[in-house]
Each structure stands twice: as C-alpha cells, then as structure tokens.
A and B are shown apart, each in its own frame.
Chain A
Amino acid sequence: MINDSYSDPNKVQLTEDGRLKHFLTTEGLSRELLTEILDTADSFISTQERAVKTVPLLRGKTVVNLFFENSTRTRSTFELAAKRLSADILNLDIARSATSKGETLMDTLWNLEAMYSDMFVVRHADSGAAHFIAEHVTPNVAIINAGDGRHAHPTQAMLDMLTIRRHKDGIEGKIVAIVGDILHSRVARSQIHALRTLGAAEVRVIGPGTLLPRDIEALGAVPFYDMKKGLADCDVVIMLRLQKERMQNALLPSEGEFFKLYGLTEEKLAYAKPDAIVMHPGPINRGVEIESAVADGSHSVILNQVSYGIAVRMAVMAMAMSGQQTPIITEENA
C-alpha cells in the first residue's frame, strides 16, 4: 500500500532540534517538551502575581490575533498574554470582514504578510487550518493554534494539564474522565493526547453514543455511556460545554435528558474519588452539563483554569517565538 504522507503535522511544528516553532497540536509531542511547556508556564504564573505583571521578553515583536471564528474569551486571554510579554498585538476579526466577502484563506494570508508580524494566533472553523497556515505563511512567522475545527485546541489542553499538575500533584497515574460532546470537541482530542503522553493511568470519555466518535479507542480513550461506571475512582472530571445546535441535528433529544444522564451533580460527583477535582474549559452552561453547587463547590478548580490560561499562553508564545528566531541552538556563553 502506498502511504503517501504529505507532511507529519508534528514535523511542521518543531525545529530540527525538537523545540517548538509553531504550536499546532499536542499530538506527537514528547513528554519532555510538554513538561517544558508546563514548567515555563509555572514561572509565568509567578510573574502574574507581582506588581508589574509584564516581562520584556517579546518586546518589539508583533502578534496578530487571526480569529476566523468568534471568541471573545480566548482572544482576550491571548491578547493579555501577548501584552504581558511586552509584544504589540493586533486583533483581526476576519469572521466579519474579508472572507465573508469571499476572499480565500490564501489571499487573506498574502495580504497580512505586508504587516511583517512575528506571530499569528489562529482560530478557524476548518480542521487542519492552523497546519495549512503554518505550511503556507512566510517563514519565521510562528503560528499558535487557538482552535481548528474539531481537530485541536492545544493551549486549552495544556492549561488543563497545568491545572491537574498543580492541584493533583502531577498527572502520572491519574484517572481522568472527559464528559460530554467528544465528537465535536477539539479540546477533548488535545486533552487525550496530552494526558496519554504525560502518563495518565486511564483517560475515559463519557457520553451518549451519538456524541462519542466510534474510533475513540484508537486515540487511547476508553468510552463509557454511564456516569456511575465512568466516574468510578476518577481523580479528575472534565466537563465539556454542550452546544445548543446538538439538539437540532438529531444528536440529543433535550438538555433535560442530557442533564439527567450526564450533568455533573453532587450526587454523581460522589462516584469519583473524594478528593477529585472538577474542571471545565468554559463557558459553563449551568443546569445543562453541570449544576451550580458543583461549579461553585470545593472540588471545582474552574476559576484557576482561567488564570493558568494566561501563563500557558505566555509560555507557548515565548517558546514558539524562540524556535522561530533560532532554528538551532548552539553553545552559548552567558
């Protein structure tokens, strides 16, 4: 069989010596590299706690937020992360401008090249879009994937990993359950790859048959249809947001039935370990995937996730920019 691979997405995002030069997906990255991202993010957390939250690391660099899909939250955390690295940031809401007039993605990219930016943070509705941009953009521009279709949302996954590492003292050996619409979730896919690489004992996905992809085991996750069985002995419960459209496309009958079966209540949370933590990438739908008592309760680390988000994004932006500047690191003297 002729297996004709165009290019390994992981080769695209790494320099010759294995450092990040784009951040497109958590898939295929080594444990060492993922750990380095977390360690770097940790040191940015401490800078966020000081009076002056900025570091001069990316001073003079230009970061462009290229959002083809609307998202105020993610976009503003990237904006804040760039500013705290002292970079200049430009927000382009392409969703409402050129491409709605029919301009192709390639033409949009060519027009942007004239702006001499150093980094694009990209969110796009097509899986593989960030990869496409990384392959076709001028060299020396770093691409950070802020979410492409159903494929990947690597910065979200990494901030989730940081949360687990900080609140559960490491990811190794933990049992993690991801609950909800896995089928359409780029966050879930990125989380599964990262959890497996970082040594989670078991990654479970819980939801109705319509929302779990048939081949999810091939990615290394164990499917469950029942919350009681799925949450048994879990250290971490990650709830995914349920979008209203799922009811329209014959995937679910109603929010009520979903909440009855899969909504995280205190009763269901009791199936997990007593010190389990509850996470959610946000924004949360109270009463649909999670009840307020749990979202605001002692197990929830949802608000912490948000603050770690800035540190993780600062880390990947610094690392990717570094990889673009210096394709190979040679011996350096202090």
Chain B
Amino acid sequence: MRYLHIANARVIDPASEMDSVTDVYIANGKIKAIGHRPDAGEIEETINADGQWLIPGLIDLGGHLPEPGYSQKGSIDSETLAAARGGFTHICSLPDTKPVADTSAVIKLILEKAARAGHTRVLPLGAMTQGLEGEQLASMYTLAEAGAVAMSNARQPIRDSYVLRRLMEYAATYDIPLFLCANDLSLSDGGCMHEGTVATRMGLAGIPETAETIALAQLLLLIEQTGVRAHISQISTRRAISMLRQAREGGLRVTADTPLANLIYTDASVTGYNSLYNVQPPLRSERDREALVAAVAAGELAISSNHRPHEIAAKKAPFSDAESGMSQYDFFLPHAMALVNRGELTENQLIRALTLIPAKVLDLNQGITEGNDFNAVLYQPAQEETVAANLLASRGHNHPLIGKTVIGKVNAVFIEGVQVC
C-alpha cells in the first residue's frame, strides 16, 4: 500500500465534528487513517500542510453550465475547472441548457464531457418538464437512469398547481428528488431587482418578496400532500426561512439552499445600475440577508453557487436589459470565507453549509473520515490575492471579485484521491 500523507493540516470536518491539527493518510483514493500512521505500507508522498486547512470537498447544489448550447458563455471544461479551483469536488448542473436537459442524450453528453475534462465531478439535474415549459412531465425515470441525480425546474414556471401536484406524485413514485425554485412568475415578471426602496429610487421594476413566498407556500403544501423528496433551491427572503422552519417543525422533510451572493450582497449593490448585480433570485434587503446568514449559522440552509457565466455583451447593457447571473466558481471558497472573516459565521458553520448539508441532500458520503473517498480541499486561510480577469478559469468575467483582494487560497483539490488542481 502506497500512501499519500498530508501532514499537520488543520482538519475541519463538520460530519465527525472534528477540528484539530493532525495527519491524514490516503491510498487507493480512500482515507485510510487519520491521526495515526497506518501499520503497513509506505509513504509515497508527503504534503506539508503547515498552516493550511484540510476540509471536505465543496458540493454545489446548483450552478449553470453553458454547455450544451451557449458556447459564447463558456464550456463544461472551462467552468468545471473554475469550480475545482473554487474548491468544489461536485457540482449539480441546472438543466436550462440548449437543448434543455430533458433527454438522456443531454445527460450523457454532460457526464462524458465532464469526465473528459477531468476537473470537478458533475451531477446533472434533469428537467422536470419537457423543454422546461412547465406543461408536460419529462421522462424523469429515464433521466435518472442516465445519471441525473434529481430533477429541477430551473426557475421556470410550472403551469399551475395541478401540473405541479402530478409532477410531484410521479417523482415520488420512483423516489426521485425534486429541486424546486419558488418563483411566482405573475408577480416577478418584468421585475429585475428586489422590490424595495432602492428599486423605487432607481425607477427599476421590482420583484416583491411575495413572488417567492407565495410560490413556496404552494410548494410546501404539495410536498406535504405528495410526500415527494424535495429540496428548495435558491431562496432569498427572510419570510421563506420562517416558512421553512415552521414546515419542518410540523414534521415536513424539506431542505433548502441560498446562493452565496445573497449572503454577501444586498439590493444596495445595484446603486449605480451595475448590471453585474442583476441576478435571479434578486439580491434582497439587509434584513433578508441577515436572516439567510442566521439560517446558515443554525445549520438550516446549504449554500449554493448559482454560478452563471456570461459573455461581455450580455452584461454590457442598461440594468434591466442585461442578462441575469454572476460568475461565481473562481475564488469561491475565499469569497465565501469573507463571511467568516467578518465574524458572521464560524469556519465550521460555513464549511458545513458547503459540504455536509449538500451531501445529505444528495445522499452522498462526504467527509474526512476513515473509509471515505478522499474528496477534499487544502486551503491556505491567510494568503492574500488580488483577483484579475486573467486569473479566472471561467469564461464568464461577470464576477464581482475582479479587481478586489481576497484572503485565502485553495491550494489543492482532491477527488477520489487524485489531485485535480
């Protein structure tokens, strides 16, 4: 047995509640020993991880890969590389590609391309309805068979409660999890930012919080009725948090995530009409942001990337004309660490929201424990770096950190024991 030996890393593993400086030994892609040298075998390589953290690989519950169909925005190769550098070992790709991921052919294409690129693992999300048009059920069983880990509606509307109910009943039959976005199009249509004081002052059409909460109420009641395995993607409001809390207290099994951007930025960022901050779900008020952070701290919420790369022309337009979305994969972990550096979250709370909680949603075993696959990140928490556009692996330069300095650097990412970056 030939081992990879990682020495003196601060191992932070929320699953086993571990946080201590120790040694880890890896062989054949799995963690063989923590804290003690294994009896047999020899050390092939030692990495001196003095001052660095060893944490489980990050898992993204929702990012937009622009392949197939949007080659001007990027490719599976470029975006999975960016994700790996950001600290992700696994990302769920949303089905709003072109063509939509509603056939096994598209699912297989995504898996093949990701495997060939050899960076982050991609766990494709299939479309819930054909063409994401919200009318006809997609062949969910076939998509799951081809490798889709769950089905998503990618913020596209479902025609009505009837179709939504049938969708859920069908998925429940085969124990297929649904990733649902809560978005009432009749209230959000035409809006481009959070409805509030900033929108009023800037004369921009707003998306009220009820666009999310009304849709969420509908989803929660139908989830209860149908018993489907459900995860709510990309929530953005304080009210949604309390609705979810209440539902769970009532015994409902439901998980949720929020995009990193909604934890860091608010609608105030839109001042100046910077189209970079045109995102869906919109960046909401400070009150909403604080509630989202509190929910992450309490372990109720996972953090997703909502990564959406765009070419320059898509963003170089007046605010409401620009396409929504932020490039997020590059520098993701140091970006997220800002919340820890500012004292809003502990290291453990942040890492848990990016690893343990998403792993549970996907039924994955992700953690630094003996016997697990070695999916992990070596992170240097103190290193400062200025983000320049040419440092991005993603082809989407619509990234809020460009020109800014981050503290922290991903030094290495391992997937099944292999260092991918």
Residue numbers of A with Cβ under 8 A of B are 1-9, 27, 104-106, 124, 126-129, 131-132, 136, 148-152, 186, 189, 213-216, 218-219
Sample of 11 more A-B contacts, CB < 8 Å, known A1-B266, A4-B265, A149-B203: A6-B272, A7-B272, A7-B274, A104-B316, A104-B317, A127-B204, A131-B273, A151-B204, A215-B196, A215-B200, A218-B200
Number of interchain pairs (Cβ within 8 Å): 101
Residue in A2, A126, A136, A215 whose beta carbon sits within 8 Å of that of B321 in the complex: A126
Q: Is the CB of B203 within 8 A of A189?
A: yes
CA distance A262 to B204 in the complex (A): 26
CA distance A104 to B318 in the complex (A): 10
Q: Is the CB of A150 within 8 A of B204?
A: yes
CA distance A22 to B386 in the complex (A): 33
Chain A contact surface mostly = loop
CA distance A5 to B270 in the complex (A): 7
Q: Is the CB of B200 within 8 A of A9?
A: no
Q: Is the CB of A2 within 8 A of B204?
A: no
Residue in B195, B313, B319, B338 whose beta carbon sits within 8 Å of that of A127 in the complex: B319
Q: List residues of chain A with CB within 8 A of the CB of B201.
A: 27, 189, 218-219
Q: Is the CB of B317 within 8 A of A9?
A: no
Q: Is the CB of A105 within 8 A of B317?
A: yes
B388, CB-defined interface residue at 8 Å: no
In the complex, which residues 259-280 of chain B have their Cβ closer than 8 Å to any Cβ of chain A? 264-266, 268-269, 271-274, 276-277
Q: Is the CB of B202 within 8 A of A151?
A: yes
Central interface residue in A1, A105, A124, A219, by most chain B CB within 10 Å: A1
Q: Write the chain A residue with the least CB distance to B286.
A: A1
CA distance A106 to B316 in the complex (A): 7
Q: Write the chain A residue with the least CB distance to B266.
A: A1
Q: List residues of chain A with CB within 8 A of the CB of B308.
A: none
Q: Is the CB of A215 within 8 A of B197?
A: yes
B85, CB-defined interface residue at 8 Å: no
A interface footprint on B310-325 (CB within 8 Å = 1, 0 otherwise): 0001001111110000
- Give the Cβ gap from A314 to chain B, nearest Cβ, in Å: 26
Q: Is the CB of B318 within 8 A of A128?
A: yes
Residue in B276, B320, B321 whose beta carbon sits within 8 Å of that of A6 in the complex: B276
Q: Is the CB of B266 within 8 A of A128?
A: no
Q: Is the CB of A128 within 8 A of B313?
A: no
- Give the Cβ gap from B338 to chain A, nearest Cβ, in Å: 7
Q: Write the chain B residue with the least CB distance to A150.
A: B203
B229, CB-defined interface residue at 8 Å: no
B400, CB-defined interface residue at 8 Å: yes
- Give the Cβ gap from A146 to chain B, nearest Cβ, in Å: 14
B289, CB-defined interface residue at 8 Å: yes
CA distance A5 to B277 in the complex (A): 10
CA distance A131 to B320 in the complex (A): 13
Q: List residues of chain A with CB within 8 A of the CB of B316.
A: 104, 106, 136
Q: How many residues of B contact A (CB 8 A)?
A: 31
CA distance A106 to B322 in the complex (A): 12
Q: Is the CB of A149 within 8 A of B204?
A: yes
In the complex, which residues 229-269 of chain B have their Cβ closer than 8 Å to any Cβ of chain A? 264-266, 268-269
Q: Is the CB of B271 within 8 A of A152?
A: no
Q: Is the CB of B269 within 8 A of A128?
A: no
CA distance A186 to B200 in the complex (A): 10
- Give the Cβ gap from B300 to chain A, nearest Cβ, in Å: 21
Residue in B200, B264, B274, B318 whose beta carbon sits within 8 Å of that of A214 in the complex: B200
- Give the Cβ gap from B310 to chain A, nearest Cβ, in Å: 13
- A128 touching B202 in the complex, CB below 8 Å, given contacts A3-B269, A6-B271: yes
In the complex, which residues 285-326 of chain B have their Cβ closer than 8 Å to any Cβ of chain A? 286, 289, 313, 316-321
Q: List residues of chain B with CB within 8 A of the CB of A151.
A: 202-204
Q: List residues of chain A with CB within 8 A of the CB of B338.
A: 2
CA distance A6 to B315 in the complex (A): 14
Q: Write the chain B residue with the least CB distance to A218.
A: B197
20 contacts between A and B (CB under 8 A): A1-B286, A2-B338, A5-B268, A5-B269, A6-B271, A105-B321, A126-B320, A127-B202, A127-B273, A128-B273, A131-B318, A132-B319, A136-B316, A149-B204, A150-B203, A151-B204, A186-B203, A214-B195, A214-B200, A219-B201
A-B pairs with the 10 shortest C-beta distances? Answer: A6-B274, A151-B203, A128-B273, A150-B203, A6-B272, A127-B203, A126-B318, A215-B197, A129-B318, A218-B197
Q: Is the CB of B197 within 8 A of A105?
A: no
Q: Is the CB of A148 within 8 A of B274?
A: no
Q: List residues of chain A with CB within 8 A of the CB of B197.
A: 215, 218
Q: Is the CB of A2 within 8 A of B264?
A: yes
In the complex, which residues 311-351 of chain B have their Cβ closer than 8 Å to any Cβ of chain A? 313, 316-321, 338
CA distance A132 to B315 in the complex (A): 11
CA distance A127 to B196 in the complex (A): 15
Q: Write the chain A residue with the least CB distance to B205.
A: A150
A interface footprint on B7-38 (CB within 8 Å = 1, 0 otherwise): 00000000000000000000000000000000
- Give the Cβ gap from A64 to chain B, nearest Cβ, in Å: 18
